[in-house]
């Protein structure tokens, strides 16, 4: 084992009295990034909700990294008749920084096209188009019964995303066009409770990555919402006790009945690192055209009412979980979504060095004392640089993104610790992020100074603070909701089958409504 990694593990599992401080690391935020800013809440089709970045833990795939970018939050399974297509007028991107300078070196660009087949029925001698997205049972790729075909392309840009060298990602058949599975309309449409999984898995593609001699994998489609949180109670001024024991149950996961739309890539580590720096950073963005003309005249076909043009304008951004949600002030949330990581220090430093969340928590729970180390260099480190000895690039430029040390081996499903690196599992958050990592609890704890405690007297992680400045830094703040790796898939794309459109759970026993 690398000596610096061994030192990090030793520090992370340090025990203080009866409380295992290995339960205390974090970042700062809530519903990870669902409807987190005023403008994006009005544009759900381009709202990035979560970004996951981790060494693939599927058997035999340890030489790959998986990146999952989720969009379109709070999807009710009963989303007909149109369900949740990606926006054909938008540009969705996954960016990778492989030298620590805060600027993208690789960008995967996704563009979507929705094509109506204009399926019609003979009604009284006239051909009348049906009002549904499907006309019968759906199986296979692009069956005749699927009335709207959603396809997409993926381009890889090396260098700056708008001016770099561009080439198409292709499938093993040489095609640069891929089919997206329609959302999980319901069990009848797909031939039973397991039919959708079989159908969706046919849309997992082996891909040729330009400039890379090893193929990767690609999937785009609806998944069950992986993020877990007591979001209702949190936004109701923490309407629970976050200072109790390290609770894994007790509150509702308010996203349990929701779906989300995922862009999933599995990429060879050798093709995303630069050969010398093992740490990569990632973030995802969505952009819309600068201008829109609303014609006001009904036209034939899909997506023809509006005409859009001009330069791309970024409207959504997602890296570390919950940053925009609970760190950035409400007046600057849309500005953050439109910004690039390299400009974070100039634009948003005060929100990280002097965060409002810990003071708010102390005002609601007076025994939860906020850290006193200003500026909060510990938060600057975990959000903008990565932790020294764990996932900080050698020549890092401060910029907010998820960072992953690709030399740390993945941990198999079932053996992962939801508390990630603070729980002694260095393959987990904040070294990247896996679906089962409890970023809510970790975020709470980091906001309240856990890193100042965990770094120890020699400041192993280079966060610039001590336990003395974080009187509540060893407390197990939590929201009473937790999952683990076994709640997710063991193979790519890891996120589980979306809930079907016929899903409609009954109210809890004894529930009454006015």
For residues 203 and 140, what is the distance between their CA atoms, to the nearest angstrom? 9
For residues 461 and 453, what is the distance between their CA atoms, to the nearest angstrom? 11
For residues 205 and 432, what is the distance between their CA atoms, to the nearest angstrom? 24
**pLDDT score for 35:** 58
For residues 141 and 152, what is the distance between their CA atoms, to the nearest angstrom? 14
The candidate with the shortest Cα–Cα distance to 169, out of 249, 111, 224, is: 111
The pTM is what? 0.92
Residue 107, C-beta contacts closer than 8 angstroms, at least 6 positions apart:
93, 94, 95, 96, 156, 157, 161, 164
Query: Edge-to-edge strand order for the sheet containing 170-171?
Result: 48-55, 64-75, 259-268, 216-224, 205-208, 170-171
**pLDDT score for 18:** 27
CA angle 130, 131, 137 (to 5 degrees): 70
Q: What is the four-CA torsion angle of 26, 28, 33, 34, rounded to 10 degrees?
A: 110
**pLDDT score for 301:** 65
The SS3 call for residue 346 is helix
**pLDDT score for 245:** 84
DSSP string, 67-114: EEEEEEEEE-S--TTT--PPPTTEEEEEEEESSSSSS-SEEEEEEEEE
DSSP string, 253-303: -TTTT-EEEEEEEEEEHHHHS-SS--EEEEEEEEEEEEEEEE--S--SSTT
List 110's β-bridge partners, or say none: 92, 154
**pLDDT score for 503:** 85
Tell the residue number behind the tokens 């990429």, with chain if given. Answer: 267
Residues making up the chain, counted from first to last = 514
Q: Determine contact, residues 51/96, Cβ cutoff 8 Å.
A: no
**pLDDT score for 514:** 59
Per-residue CA distances from 400 to 67, 122, 375, 488 (Å): 16, 57, 17, 27
Longest CA span, the chain = 84
For residues 462 and 289, what is the distance between their CA atoms, to the nearest angstrom? 42
Q: DSSP letter for 4, please.
A: H
Of all residues in the chain, what percent carry a pLDDT higher than 70? 89
Q: Each residue of 150-182: pLDDT tens digit?
A: 999 999 999 999 999 999 999 999 999 999 999
Residue 300: HSE in the Cβ half-sphere, 13 Å Cα cutoff: 3
The candidate with the shortest Cα–Cα distance to 489, out of 226, 228, 258, is: 226
**pLDDT score for 23:** 32
For residues 223 and 196, what is the distance between their CA atoms, to the nearest angstrom? 11
Burial class (CB in 10 A: 0-12, 13-18, 19+), 34: buried
Q: DSSP letter for 41, please.
A: G
Q: Residue ranges of the chain with pLDDT lower than 70? A: 1-37, 296-305, 511-514
Per-residue CA distances from 98 to 70, 230, 335 (Å): 22, 35, 25
For residues 321 and 55, what is the distance between their CA atoms, to the nearest angstrom? 18
**pLDDT score for 26:** 31
For residues 154 and 107, what is the distance between their CA atoms, to the nearest angstrom? 10
Q: Each residue of 256-293: pLDDT tens digit?
A: 999 999 999 999 999 999 999 999 999 999 999 998 88
For residues 29 and 400, what is the distance between their CA atoms, to the nearest angstrom? 14
Residue 46: HSE in the Cβ half-sphere, 13 Å Cα cutoff: 29
């Amino acid at each position: 084992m690398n000596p610096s990694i061994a030192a990090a593990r030793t520090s992370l599992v340090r025990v203080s009295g009866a409380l295992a401080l290995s339960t205390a690391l974090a970042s700062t935020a809530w519903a990870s990034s669902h409807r987190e800013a005023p403008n994006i809440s009005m544009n759900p089709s381009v709202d990035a909700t979560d970004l996951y970045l981790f060494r693939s833990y599927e058997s035999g795939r340890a030489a790959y990294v998986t990146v999952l970018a989720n969009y379109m939050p709070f999807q009710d399974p009963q989303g007909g008749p149109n369900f949740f297509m990606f926006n054909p007028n938008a540009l969705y991107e996954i960016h990778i920084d492989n030298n620590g300078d805060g600027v993208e070196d690789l960008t995967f660009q996704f563009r979507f096209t929705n094509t109506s087949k204009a399926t019609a029925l003979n009604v009284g001698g006239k051909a009348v188009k049906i009002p549904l997205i499907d006309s019968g049972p759906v199986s296979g790729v692009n069956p005749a019964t699927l009335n709207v075909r959603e396809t997409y392309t993926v381009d890889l840009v090396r260098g700056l995303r708008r001016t770099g060298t561009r080439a198409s990602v292709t499938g093993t058949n040489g095609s640069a066009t891929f089919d997206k599975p329609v959302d999980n309309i319901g069990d009848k449409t797909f031939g039973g409770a397991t039919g959708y999984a079989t159908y969706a898995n046919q849309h997992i593609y082996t891909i040729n990555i330009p400039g890379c001699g090893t193929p990767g994998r690609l999937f785009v489609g609806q998944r069950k919402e992986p993020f877990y949180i007591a979001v209702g109670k949190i936004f109701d001024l923490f309407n629970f006790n976050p200072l109790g024991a390290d609770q894994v149950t007790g509150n509702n996961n308010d996203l349990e009945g929701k779906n989300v739309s995922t862009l999933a890539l599995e990429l060879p580590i050798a093709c995303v690192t630069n050969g010398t720096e093992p740490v990569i950073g990632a973030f995802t963005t969505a952009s819309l055209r600068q201008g829109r003309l609303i014609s006001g005249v009904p036209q034939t076909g899909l997506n023809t009412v509006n005409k859009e043009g001009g330069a791309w304008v970024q409207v959504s951004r997602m890296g570390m979980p919950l940053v925009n949600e609970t760190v950035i002030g409400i007046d600057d949330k849309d500005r953050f979504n439109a910004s690039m990581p390299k400009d974070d220090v100039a634009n948003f430093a005060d929100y990280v060095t002097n965060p409002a969340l810990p003071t708010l928590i102390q005002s609601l729970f007076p025994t939860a004392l906020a850290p006193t180390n200003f500026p909060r260099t510990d938060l600057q480190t975990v959000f903008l640089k990565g932790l020294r000895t764990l996932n900080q690039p050698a020549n890092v430029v401060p910029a907010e993104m998820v960072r992953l040390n690709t030399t740390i081996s993945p941990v198999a499903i079932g053996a992962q610790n939801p508390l990630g690196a603070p729980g002694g599992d260095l393959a987990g958050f904040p070294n990247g992020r896996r679906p089962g990592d409890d970023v809510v609890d970790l975020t709470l704890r980091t906001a309240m100074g856990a890193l100042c405690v965990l770094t120890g007297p020699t400041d192993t992680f280079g966060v610039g603070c001590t336990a003395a400045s974080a009187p509540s830094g060893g407390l197990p703040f939590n929201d009473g909701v937790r999952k683990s790796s076994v709640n997710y898939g063991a193979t790519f794309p890891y996120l589980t089958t979306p809930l079907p459109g016929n899903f409609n759970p009954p109210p809890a026993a004894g529930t009454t409504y006015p």
